[in-house]
Amino acid sequence: MADLAIDPRMELNPPLVQGGMTYSDVTDKISSIVEGKAPKQWWIAMAVAVPLALLLFACLGYLVTTGIGVWGNNSPVGWGWDITNFVWWIGIGHAGTLISAILFLFRQKWRTSINRAAEAMTLFAVACAAIYPLFHTGRPWRAAYWLFPLPNELLHMWQNFRSPLMWDVFAVSTYGTVSALFWYVGLIPDLATLRDRSTTPIRKTIYGLLSLGWRGSATQWRHYELAYLLLAGLSTPLVLSVHSIVSFDFATSLLPGWHTTIFPPYFVAGAVFSGFAMVVTLMTLARWIYGLENLITMKHLENMCKVMLATGMIVGFAYGTEFFIAWYSANQYERFIFLNRAFGPYWWAYWSMIACNVIAPQFFWFKKFRTSIPAMFILSIFINIGMWFERFVIIATSLHRDFLPSSWGYFSPTWVDIGTYLGTFGLFLTLFLLFLRFLPAIAISEVKGVLHQQVSAPHGVPAHGGSH
């Protein structure tokens, strides 16, 4: 890093691609992941992920054929791990859209090396999330009638539009659709690159079909960039809306600990927090396995650590505000629920949450930790755990002690709960590994865009300058 101090412009605009990579180096490097043989680590990861994904299908099959009683849900804890996992997975999905839409609008060029993989994670996380409410209905083949305003003679029912659970269906399905479109539009030029580099007819046909006849002409690029900007604009409110509406699932109720006005922005911040943690966990691994150090530089990783620090502080701020206002409200139920959270039977979950979400990210105040791969890998896992505990704490502690002590209970997961959760991990990882194997994991054309704009290019890379 010593050379950065020599030229201040390098510090102000650090190069986003390092190692003197040229345009063709970028194409070769990223395409080689798809074109070459899968490394050993990929096969090992697949060997773990696929059986877990199969476990998911086994657990779901058992659930459907037996009933949702196989989960630990009880009265009063009618929402257990299912909704916890739903919210957790949806949250994981937030980094993708934030990176691709909001950071795009904020002209944060460093997003280009990580947006593709983060967007893929969004899609897979949404798929995992959707499983839980769908199967919580017990009869998923009828869920469409409960969830969508479809006329039905069989059930004689009309959907409850006042229910935020219903808003969730619209919010999540819109989010999934727009994210998928955004991801795919971004992929098109890169798919064409893979098509043009194909050496076998099968690859050429498949990538050729997927790239929708992309030729890279000026007109195509102009339309493409406009479409990208519009999709970014459309996705931006979705980043906020999805998790706000997820928070409404809780906050519209009258339950102490759920009914609080700060929930929407607090949930959004938490979602971004967990989403970035998952991106860091997986991208540090992918970077190491595929040797992507020149494309996903320390600057990228450090920026992600800063985002985790910022969103982690917002989450901590929300915990503090909730606790304070519970006392300030002078409402005995509010005061009880928060003391019960911290010192009741779920104290271990509460303090795990505090340790992982509030204390762990504090290390990111120090550059030493922000630029250490092992440190950020471990801390990102802590944050993933902490954000799971956050949802569990919100759900279980508010439910398990109802207003009457005769309606007090305790939630314990069954092996099906645990198996289903591990199973969604398997599904998520399987899909992500397949993505790494068959699609360009880094946006080739966008990285070339920032290579072109680098103010002072190191090591003899032709600097085209920011000539606008």
Question: CB of residue 146 vs other proteins: minimum separation in angstroms?
Answer: 21
Binders of other proteins: how many residues, by CB under 8 A? 38
1 binds other proteins per the rule CB under 8 A: no
Question: CB of residue 85 vs other proteins: minimum separation in angstroms?
Answer: 24
11 binds other proteins per the rule CB under 8 A: yes
297 binds other proteins per the rule CB under 8 A: no
> Closer to other proteins at the Cβ: 6 or 202?
6
> Closer to other proteins at the Cβ: 39 or 449?
449
222 binds other proteins per the rule CB under 8 A: no
Among 74, 174, 220, 252, binds other proteins (CB under 8 A): 252
Question: CB of residue 152 vs other proteins: minimum separation in angstroms?
Answer: 27
Strand partners, 401: 408
What Cα–Cα distance (Å) separates residue 100 from each residue in 12, 220, 231, 307, 453? 23, 20, 10, 14, 19
What whole-number distance in Å separates Cα of residue 293 and Cα of residue 316? 32
Collapse the DSSP code of 12 into the 3-class scheme (helix H, G, I; strand E, B; otherwise coil) and give the result.
helix
> Closer to other proteins at the Cβ: 214 or 248?
248
109 binds other proteins per the rule CB under 8 A: no
What whole-number distance in Å separates Cα of residue 35 and Cα of residue 262? 48
Count of alpha carbons within 13 angstroms of residue 297, beta-carbon side: 17
253 binds other proteins per the rule CB under 8 A: yes
197 binds other proteins per the rule CB under 8 A: no
Query: Hunting for tokens 């395409």 — which residue is that?
Result: 31
Question: CB of residue 137 vs other proteins: minimum separation in angstroms?
Answer: 23
Show Cβ contacts of residue 299 under 8 Å, excluding neighbours closer than 6 positions: 14, 16, 110
Question: CB of residue 453 vs other proteins: minimum separation in angstroms?
Answer: 10
**Cβ–Cβ < 8 Å for 196, 140:** no
Closest by CA position to 18, among listed 447, 372, 467: 447
Question: CB of residue 303 vs other proteins: minimum separation in angstroms?
Answer: 10
262 binds other proteins per the rule CB under 8 A: yes
* Residues within window 351-370 making contact with other proteins, judged by CB under 8 A: 365
Among 6, 8, 47, 215, binds other proteins (CB under 8 A): 8
Closest by CA position to 433, among listed 38, 17, 10, 35: 38
160 binds other proteins per the rule CB under 8 A: no
> Which DSSP string corresponds to 437-455?
HHS-SS-HHHHHHHHHH-S
What whole-number distance in Å separates Cα of residue 344 and Cα of residue 401? 10
> Closer to other proteins at the Cβ: 8 or 374?
8
> Closer to other proteins at the Cβ: 327 or 403?
327
Whether the bond into 76 is cis, omega within 30 of 0:
yes
What whole-number distance in Å separates Cα of residue 141 and Cα of residue 82? 18
What whole-number distance in Å separates Cα of residue 351 and Cα of residue 384? 15
313 binds other proteins per the rule CB under 8 A: yes
Question: CB of residue 122 vs other proteins: minimum separation in angstroms?
Answer: 21
* Residues within window 316-345 making contact with other proteins, judged by CB under 8 A: 317-318, 320-322, 325, 327-331
Query: Hunting for tokens 């120090």 — which residue is that?
Result: 366
What whole-number distance in Å separates Cα of residue 10 and Cα of residue 272? 29
Interaction site with other proteins (CB under 8 A): 8-9, 11-13, 106-107, 240, 244, 248, 251-254, 259-265, 313-314, 317-318, 320-322, 325, 327-331, 365, 455, 466, 468
